[in-house]
Structure 1
């Protein structure tokens, strides 16, 4: 079941308009992903979390899980599960959502 909450300040899946994050949960706009600019969020909703995988990113090695829109299945970004270096620990449990995959409302 989709959770909608306050629709006045949400980020939505560009593909199906499903709300995936609130503006108040946006932590940073200074990230990069496959499609370019990406945002770091403290929480994401109405998503499905895929299987865990270890990946080496520019900032270090992490265990990540891709995240998908629960409504249309669009891959939106990933969730940081674990950081292997101290400088990346603050990202654990947070979400990267690609700017190209969401629309602000």
Structure 2
């Protein structure tokens, strides 16, 4: 896969922003965080309702802890690191709430300006 870098980035307006650990590109606002109780490929992960400055990979069916889901990996638009995935389709009825939501690996994000949570 060739690395394509976008020249335009979205800069989020919020006091609490999560950024890519590699290049510090804005990825998500704390207000869009749904849950921290998720497991990613490399440990803890967060579920977000919305992310920005990412590109979607091809759709694939993946067996996860909660069953089979159709997902697309998400890559940082600037450094091209895979930071998580987007849930496209959940086969289990109880997992439908995840559709069109994003998993971002905790190890792949930093808190801009090192803010503390309440």
- Residue 16 of structure 1: aligned partner: 23
Q: Runs of 5+ in structure 1 lacking a partner?
A: none
CA shift for structure 1 position 13: 0.1
With the length of structure 1 as denominator, give the TM-score of the two structures: 0.97
Moved over 6 A (4+): none
Structure (1 or 2) with the larger CA radius of gyration: 2
Q: How many aligned positions are there?
A: 105
Q: TM-score, normalised by structure 2?
A: 0.87
Partner deviation per Cα, 1:22-65 (whole Å, 9 max, x = no partner): 00000000001121000000001000000000011110110000
Mark the runs of 5 or more structure 2 residues left unpaired by the alignment.
Answer: 1-7, 113-118
2:48 maps to 41
Cross-structure match for 1:89: 96
Counterparts of 1:47 and 1:91, CA distance in 2: 18
Residue number among 62, 78, 102 corresponding to 2:69 in the alignment: 62
